[in-house]
Homo-oligomer: A and B are copies of this chain.
Amino acid sequence: MPLPPRRNQRRVLPCPGSDMTDPKTKPSAPACAPAPEGEPLGPITVEVTRGDLVESRHRAAFAVIDPAGRVVLSGGDIARPVYARSSAKPLQALPLVESGAAAAFDVSEAELALACASHTGEPRHVATVRAWLMRLGLGEGDLECGPQLPVHHATLLDFLQGGGTADAVHNNCSGKHSGFLTLARHLGAPTRGYIRYDHPVQQRILGVLEAMTGLDLGAAPRGIDGCGIPVIGIPLGNWALAFARLADPHDQPEARQAACARIRAAMTAEPFMVAGTGRFCTRLMQATGGRVVAKGGAEGFYCAALPELGLGVAIKAEDGADRAAEITLGQILRRLDVLGDGDTALLETPIRNRVGLRVGEVRPASEAPF
Protein backbone atom coordinates (compact mmCIF):
# COMPACT_ATOMS: atom_id res chain seq x y z
CA MET A 1 0.00 0.00 0.00
CA PRO A 2 2.32 2.78 -1.15
CA LEU A 3 1.45 6.23 0.10
CA PRO A 4 1.78 9.39 -1.97
CA PRO A 5 4.86 11.43 -1.14
CA ARG A 6 4.37 14.03 1.55
CA ARG A 7 6.03 17.37 1.06
CA ASN A 8 6.40 18.51 4.61
CA GLN A 9 8.26 21.63 5.56
CA ARG A 10 11.14 19.89 7.33
CA ARG A 11 14.37 20.81 5.65
CA VAL A 12 17.34 18.91 6.93
CA LEU A 13 18.84 20.59 3.89
CA PRO A 14 19.51 23.44 3.93
CA CYS A 15 20.63 24.02 7.48
CA PRO A 16 19.33 27.14 9.18
CA GLY A 17 21.02 30.25 7.81
CA SER A 18 21.96 28.88 4.43
CA ASP A 19 20.04 29.13 1.19
CA MET A 20 20.30 25.82 -0.59
CA THR A 21 18.42 27.04 -3.63
CA ASP A 22 21.28 29.42 -4.38
CA PRO A 23 24.30 27.35 -5.34
CA LYS A 24 26.60 30.30 -4.70
CA THR A 25 25.76 30.24 -0.95
CA LYS A 26 27.27 27.15 0.52
CA PRO A 27 27.47 26.07 4.15
CA SER A 28 30.47 24.03 5.27
CA ALA A 29 30.20 20.26 5.12
CA PRO A 30 28.69 18.46 6.92
CA ALA A 31 25.57 20.58 6.62
CA CYS A 32 23.97 19.45 9.89
CA ALA A 33 25.36 17.77 12.96
CA PRO A 34 25.42 14.01 12.39
CA ALA A 35 24.14 11.64 15.07
CA PRO A 36 26.74 10.44 17.58
CA GLU A 37 29.10 7.65 16.51
CA GLY A 38 27.77 4.26 17.58
CA GLU A 39 24.14 5.12 16.89
CA PRO A 40 22.64 2.97 14.13
CA LEU A 41 23.02 4.68 10.76
CA GLY A 42 19.41 3.81 10.01
CA PRO A 43 16.50 1.44 10.60
CA ILE A 44 16.33 -2.18 9.48
CA THR A 45 15.01 -2.13 5.91
CA VAL A 46 15.97 -5.51 4.46
CA GLU A 47 15.90 -9.09 5.72
CA VAL A 48 17.43 -12.25 4.34
CA THR A 49 15.38 -15.39 4.90
CA ARG A 50 16.23 -19.09 4.74
CA GLY A 51 13.56 -21.66 5.51
CA ASP A 52 11.87 -20.88 8.84
CA LEU A 53 14.17 -18.03 9.90
CA VAL A 54 15.25 -14.53 9.02
CA GLU A 55 18.97 -15.29 8.76
CA SER A 56 20.41 -11.76 8.36
CA ARG A 57 19.19 -8.18 8.55
CA HIS A 58 20.39 -4.91 7.03
CA ARG A 59 20.05 -1.31 8.22
CA ALA A 60 20.13 1.66 5.90
CA ALA A 61 19.82 5.42 6.02
CA PHE A 62 17.80 6.89 3.16
CA ALA A 63 16.72 10.31 1.96
CA VAL A 64 14.25 11.46 -0.67
CA ILE A 65 14.81 15.18 -1.28
CA ASP A 66 13.37 17.79 -3.62
CA PRO A 67 15.52 20.36 -5.49
CA ALA A 68 14.85 22.97 -2.79
CA GLY A 69 16.33 20.69 -0.16
CA ARG A 70 13.03 19.65 1.43
CA VAL A 71 12.93 16.18 2.95
CA VAL A 72 10.11 14.18 1.35
CA LEU A 73 11.01 10.89 3.05
CA SER A 74 13.93 9.87 5.19
CA GLY A 75 15.17 7.35 7.69
CA GLY A 76 18.24 7.26 9.88
CA ASP A 77 21.15 9.67 9.96
CA ILE A 78 21.22 11.63 6.70
CA ALA A 79 23.69 14.24 8.02
CA ARG A 80 26.71 11.97 8.57
CA PRO A 81 29.29 12.32 5.76
CA VAL A 82 29.37 9.23 3.54
CA TYR A 83 31.07 8.27 0.30
CA ALA A 84 28.74 7.68 -2.65
CA ARG A 85 31.44 5.66 -4.44
CA SER A 86 30.25 4.80 -7.96
CA SER A 87 26.83 6.36 -7.33
CA ALA A 88 28.57 9.70 -7.90
CA LYS A 89 29.40 8.83 -11.51
CA PRO A 90 26.42 10.63 -13.14
CA LEU A 91 27.51 13.78 -11.25
CA GLN A 92 31.16 13.24 -12.14
CA ALA A 93 30.13 13.12 -15.82
CA LEU A 94 28.51 16.58 -15.73
CA PRO A 95 31.76 18.51 -16.42
CA LEU A 96 32.41 16.26 -19.43
CA VAL A 97 29.20 17.57 -21.01
CA GLU A 98 28.91 21.13 -19.69
CA SER A 99 32.52 21.98 -20.55
CA GLY A 100 31.85 21.19 -24.22
CA ALA A 101 34.31 18.29 -24.14
CA ALA A 102 31.66 15.70 -25.03
CA ALA A 103 30.54 17.72 -28.06
CA ALA A 104 34.11 18.48 -29.15
CA PHE A 105 35.00 14.79 -29.11
CA ASP A 106 31.67 13.51 -30.51
CA VAL A 107 30.86 11.52 -27.38
CA SER A 108 27.86 9.35 -28.24
CA GLU A 109 24.87 8.58 -26.04
CA ALA A 110 26.22 5.07 -25.42
CA GLU A 111 29.63 6.46 -24.48
CA LEU A 112 28.08 8.99 -22.13
CA ALA A 113 26.08 6.21 -20.44
CA LEU A 114 29.37 4.35 -20.10
CA ALA A 115 30.97 7.43 -18.50
CA CYS A 116 28.29 7.03 -15.77
CA ALA A 117 28.74 3.26 -15.53
CA SER A 118 30.03 0.48 -13.37
CA HIS A 119 30.02 -1.89 -16.31
CA THR A 120 30.35 -5.64 -16.25
CA GLY A 121 33.09 -5.92 -18.87
CA GLU A 122 30.85 -7.46 -21.53
CA PRO A 123 32.04 -7.24 -25.15
CA ARG A 124 29.96 -4.16 -26.06
CA HIS A 125 31.23 -2.24 -23.04
CA VAL A 126 34.84 -3.02 -23.82
CA ALA A 127 34.56 -2.39 -27.57
CA THR A 128 32.94 0.99 -26.91
CA VAL A 129 35.70 2.05 -24.51
CA ARG A 130 38.41 0.95 -26.95
CA ALA A 131 36.86 2.88 -29.86
CA TRP A 132 36.42 5.98 -27.68
CA LEU A 133 40.04 5.95 -26.49
CA MET A 134 41.25 5.53 -30.07
CA ARG A 135 39.20 8.56 -31.13
CA LEU A 136 40.97 10.55 -28.40
CA GLY A 137 44.33 9.47 -29.78
CA LEU A 138 44.86 7.54 -26.56
CA GLY A 139 44.99 3.87 -25.57
CA GLU A 140 44.39 1.47 -22.71
CA GLY A 141 47.76 2.42 -21.25
CA ASP A 142 46.40 5.89 -20.51
CA LEU A 143 43.71 4.50 -18.19
CA GLU A 144 44.82 4.83 -14.55
CA CYS A 145 41.97 2.77 -13.05
CA GLY A 146 44.03 -0.39 -12.60
CA PRO A 147 43.34 -3.90 -13.91
CA GLN A 148 40.17 -5.94 -13.35
CA LEU A 149 38.65 -9.09 -14.80
CA PRO A 150 35.15 -8.89 -16.36
CA VAL A 151 32.42 -8.98 -13.71
CA HIS A 152 29.81 -10.66 -15.91
CA HIS A 153 30.14 -14.38 -15.24
CA ALA A 154 29.70 -15.83 -18.75
CA THR A 155 31.99 -13.13 -20.19
CA LEU A 156 34.57 -13.95 -17.52
CA LEU A 157 34.50 -17.64 -18.39
CA ASP A 158 34.93 -16.93 -22.11
CA PHE A 159 37.62 -14.38 -21.39
CA LEU A 160 39.65 -16.70 -19.17
CA GLN A 161 39.19 -19.69 -21.45
CA GLY A 162 40.60 -17.50 -24.23
CA GLY A 163 43.67 -16.77 -22.09
CA GLY A 164 42.57 -13.28 -21.01
CA THR A 165 44.04 -11.59 -17.94
CA ALA A 166 42.85 -8.60 -15.88
CA ASP A 167 43.32 -5.29 -17.68
CA ALA A 168 42.28 -1.65 -17.41
CA VAL A 169 39.73 -1.65 -20.22
CA HIS A 170 37.73 -4.40 -18.44
CA ASN A 171 37.82 -2.40 -15.19
CA ASN A 172 34.20 -1.54 -14.39
CA CYS A 173 35.23 2.14 -14.25
CA SER A 174 36.94 2.30 -17.66
CA GLY A 175 34.07 4.33 -19.17
CA LYS A 176 34.25 6.91 -16.38
CA HIS A 177 38.00 7.13 -16.84
CA SER A 178 37.57 7.58 -20.61
CA GLY A 179 35.31 10.50 -19.77
CA PHE A 180 38.01 11.94 -17.49
CA LEU A 181 40.60 11.60 -20.26
CA THR A 182 38.24 13.34 -22.69
CA LEU A 183 37.83 16.23 -20.27
CA ALA A 184 41.59 16.43 -19.68
CA ARG A 185 42.21 16.63 -23.42
CA HIS A 186 39.54 19.30 -23.81
CA LEU A 187 40.95 21.38 -20.92
CA GLY A 188 44.45 21.10 -22.36
CA ALA A 189 45.53 19.50 -19.08
CA PRO A 190 48.02 16.62 -18.89
CA THR A 191 46.27 13.27 -19.24
CA ARG A 192 48.80 11.68 -16.89
CA GLY A 193 47.75 11.93 -13.24
CA TYR A 194 44.11 12.74 -14.07
CA ILE A 195 43.02 10.66 -11.05
CA ARG A 196 44.80 12.91 -8.54
CA TYR A 197 42.78 15.19 -6.25
CA ASP A 198 44.68 18.30 -7.40
CA HIS A 199 44.42 17.57 -11.15
CA PRO A 200 42.21 20.05 -13.09
CA VAL A 201 39.78 17.22 -13.99
CA GLN A 202 39.16 16.26 -10.36
CA GLN A 203 39.03 19.91 -9.26
CA ARG A 204 36.44 20.66 -11.96
CA ILE A 205 34.38 17.71 -10.69
CA LEU A 206 34.72 18.94 -7.10
CA GLY A 207 33.28 22.30 -8.14
CA VAL A 208 30.27 20.68 -9.78
CA LEU A 209 29.75 18.48 -6.71
CA GLU A 210 29.75 21.64 -4.58
CA ALA A 211 27.09 23.24 -6.77
CA MET A 212 24.92 20.13 -6.88
CA THR A 213 25.21 19.26 -3.16
CA GLY A 214 25.11 22.87 -1.98
CA LEU A 215 28.21 22.44 0.16
CA ASP A 216 31.71 23.84 0.33
CA LEU A 217 33.77 20.66 -0.02
CA GLY A 218 37.28 22.06 0.27
CA ALA A 219 37.68 20.62 3.75
CA ALA A 220 35.35 17.62 3.32
CA PRO A 221 36.64 14.22 4.47
CA ARG A 222 38.04 12.18 1.63
CA GLY A 223 39.60 8.90 0.61
CA ILE A 224 40.63 6.96 -2.50
CA ASP A 225 38.26 4.82 -4.52
CA GLY A 226 38.95 1.35 -5.87
CA CYS A 227 39.82 2.91 -9.24
CA GLY A 228 42.20 5.47 -7.73
CA ILE A 229 40.14 8.68 -7.91
CA PRO A 230 39.19 10.77 -4.85
CA VAL A 231 36.00 9.99 -2.95
CA ILE A 232 34.43 12.87 -1.01
CA GLY A 233 32.50 12.46 2.27
CA ILE A 234 29.15 14.28 1.93
CA PRO A 235 26.00 13.94 4.06
CA LEU A 236 23.51 11.47 2.58
CA GLY A 237 20.82 14.16 2.35
CA ASN A 238 23.10 16.28 0.18
CA TRP A 239 23.79 13.35 -2.16
CA ALA A 240 20.01 13.06 -2.53
CA LEU A 241 19.82 16.81 -3.15
CA ALA A 242 22.40 16.50 -5.93
CA PHE A 243 20.27 13.80 -7.56
CA ALA A 244 17.13 15.92 -7.10
CA ARG A 245 18.94 18.64 -9.05
CA LEU A 246 20.00 16.08 -11.65
CA ALA A 247 16.27 15.28 -11.97
CA ASP A 248 15.21 18.93 -11.95
CA PRO A 249 18.14 21.35 -12.42
CA HIS A 250 16.05 24.52 -12.88
CA ASP A 251 18.15 26.41 -10.33
CA GLN A 252 21.43 25.55 -12.07
CA PRO A 253 23.24 27.43 -14.89
CA GLU A 254 21.94 26.71 -18.41
CA ALA A 255 24.90 24.62 -19.51
CA ARG A 256 24.43 22.41 -16.45
CA GLN A 257 20.70 22.09 -17.06
CA ALA A 258 21.47 20.84 -20.56
CA ALA A 259 24.16 18.51 -19.24
CA CYS A 260 21.74 17.03 -16.67
CA ALA A 261 19.16 16.43 -19.40
CA ARG A 262 21.73 14.76 -21.64
CA ILE A 263 22.98 12.47 -18.85
CA ARG A 264 19.43 11.48 -17.85
CA ALA A 265 18.64 10.72 -21.49
CA ALA A 266 21.84 8.73 -22.05
CA MET A 267 21.50 6.57 -18.94
CA THR A 268 17.83 5.75 -19.53
CA ALA A 269 18.32 5.16 -23.28
CA GLU A 270 21.30 2.87 -22.68
CA PRO A 271 20.70 1.08 -19.37
CA PHE A 272 22.84 -1.86 -20.47
CA MET A 273 25.84 0.47 -20.77
CA VAL A 274 25.37 1.75 -17.20
CA ALA A 275 25.88 -1.73 -15.69
CA GLY A 276 25.24 -4.94 -17.66
CA THR A 277 23.31 -8.16 -18.02
CA GLY A 278 21.24 -8.96 -14.95
CA ARG A 279 22.44 -6.02 -12.84
CA PHE A 280 19.97 -4.16 -10.66
CA CYS A 281 20.72 -0.70 -12.20
CA THR A 282 20.16 -2.02 -15.70
CA ARG A 283 17.01 -3.99 -14.87
CA LEU A 284 15.50 -1.08 -12.93
CA MET A 285 16.06 1.43 -15.74
CA GLN A 286 14.84 -1.04 -18.35
CA ALA A 287 11.66 -1.60 -16.35
CA THR A 288 10.90 2.07 -15.66
CA GLY A 289 11.52 3.59 -19.11
CA GLY A 290 12.95 7.00 -18.21
CA ARG A 291 11.20 7.46 -14.87
CA VAL A 292 14.26 6.39 -12.86
CA VAL A 293 17.91 7.33 -13.42
CA ALA A 294 19.71 5.03 -10.98
CA LYS A 295 23.31 4.29 -10.09
CA GLY A 296 24.66 1.96 -7.44
CA GLY A 297 27.98 2.26 -5.66
CA ALA A 298 30.24 -0.02 -3.65
CA GLU A 299 29.72 -0.54 0.10
CA GLY A 300 25.93 -0.47 -0.15
CA PHE A 301 25.25 2.87 -1.81
CA TYR A 302 22.50 3.82 -4.24
CA CYS A 303 21.36 7.08 -5.78
CA ALA A 304 18.46 7.78 -8.11
CA ALA A 305 17.01 10.80 -9.89
CA LEU A 306 13.24 10.75 -10.51
CA PRO A 307 12.64 13.31 -13.29
CA GLU A 308 8.82 13.01 -13.31
CA LEU A 309 8.59 13.62 -9.58
CA GLY A 310 11.51 16.06 -9.42
CA LEU A 311 13.09 14.10 -6.58
CA GLY A 312 16.45 12.65 -5.67
CA VAL A 313 17.07 9.51 -3.64
CA ALA A 314 20.19 8.42 -1.76
CA ILE A 315 20.66 5.25 0.28
CA LYS A 316 23.58 3.98 2.37
CA ALA A 317 23.53 0.53 3.96
CA GLU A 318 25.26 0.69 7.34
CA ASP A 319 27.17 -2.52 6.72
CA GLY A 320 28.08 -1.85 3.09
CA ALA A 321 25.93 -4.63 1.58
CA ASP A 322 24.88 -3.98 -2.01
CA ARG A 323 21.89 -6.32 -1.67
CA ALA A 324 20.60 -4.06 1.11
CA ALA A 325 20.85 -0.85 -0.92
CA GLU A 326 19.13 -2.44 -3.93
CA ILE A 327 16.12 -3.80 -2.06
CA THR A 328 15.82 -0.58 -0.01
CA LEU A 329 15.69 1.41 -3.27
CA GLY A 330 12.96 -0.92 -4.54
CA GLN A 331 10.93 -0.26 -1.38
CA ILE A 332 11.32 3.51 -1.68
CA LEU A 333 10.28 3.42 -5.33
CA ARG A 334 7.21 1.36 -4.41
CA ARG A 335 6.43 3.83 -1.62
CA LEU A 336 6.60 6.63 -4.22
CA ASP A 337 4.38 4.65 -6.64
CA VAL A 338 7.20 4.49 -9.17
CA LEU A 339 7.18 0.70 -8.81
CA GLY A 340 4.09 -1.41 -8.18
CA ASP A 341 3.55 -4.61 -6.23
CA GLY A 342 3.90 -6.49 -9.51
CA ASP A 343 7.53 -5.46 -9.97
CA THR A 344 8.56 -8.50 -7.96
CA ALA A 345 11.95 -8.91 -9.59
CA LEU A 346 12.96 -5.44 -8.36
CA LEU A 347 11.42 -5.77 -4.89
CA GLU A 348 13.05 -9.00 -3.74
CA THR A 349 15.85 -11.35 -4.78
CA PRO A 350 15.53 -15.14 -4.51
CA ILE A 351 18.35 -17.09 -2.87
CA ARG A 352 18.98 -20.42 -4.59
CA ASN A 353 21.21 -23.27 -3.55
CA ARG A 354 23.73 -24.88 -5.87
CA VAL A 355 21.20 -27.13 -7.55
CA GLY A 356 18.89 -24.16 -8.22
CA LEU A 357 16.32 -24.75 -5.47
CA ARG A 358 14.86 -21.56 -3.99
CA VAL A 359 15.80 -21.68 -0.30
CA GLY A 360 15.21 -18.08 0.79
CA GLU A 361 15.07 -14.49 -0.31
CA VAL A 362 16.41 -10.99 0.20
CA ARG A 363 13.28 -8.90 0.80
CA PRO A 364 11.89 -5.83 2.56
CA ALA A 365 12.08 -6.35 6.32
CA SER A 366 8.83 -6.83 8.22
CA GLU A 367 9.94 -3.93 10.47
CA ALA A 368 10.96 -1.63 7.58
CA PRO A 369 9.53 1.90 8.00
CA PHE A 370 7.60 1.90 4.70
Contact = CB atoms under 8 A, between A and B. Distances in A.
Given A38-B44, A57-B41, A148 B52 contact: no
A164 B86 CA distance: 33
A302 interface: no
Interface stretch (A9-17, A223-231, A274-282, A304-312): A223-231
A148 to B, nearest CB: 6
Interface residues of A, number: 57
A52 B222 CA distance: 6
A231 B55 CA distance: 11
Interface string A37-77: 11011001000101111111111000000000000000000
A83 B58 contact: no
Interface in A196-243: 221-228, 231, 233
B58 A319 contact: yes
Interface string A352-367: 0111110110000011
A308 to B, nearest CB: 32
Give chain A's interface secondary structure class. Answer: loop
Nearest to A148: B354
A366 B51 contact: no
- How many monomers of this chain does the complex have? 2
B299 A223 contact: no
B231 A51 contact: yes
B57 A318 contact: yes
A163 B160 contact: no
Contact of A55 (B83, B355, B357, B367): B83
A100 interface: no
Contacts of A8: none
A56 B320 CA distance: 5
B299 A48 contact: yes
A265 interface: no
A221 B53 contact: yes
A332 interface: no
B228 A147 contact: no
B55 A82 contact: yes
Nearest to A233: B53
Contact of A319 (B52, B56, B82): B56
Contacts of A82: 53, 55
A54 B77 CA distance: 14
Interface string A66-103: 00000000000000011100000000000000000000
Contacts of A38: 44, 367
B227 A357 contact: no
Contacts of A367: 37-38
Contacts of A356: 146
A321 interface: yes
17 contacts: A50-B223, A51-B222, A51-B231, A55-B82, A56-B317, A56-B319, A59-B319, A146-B354, A146-B356, A160-B161, A161-B161, A224-B359, A226-B353, A226-B354, A228-B354, A319-B324, A321-B321
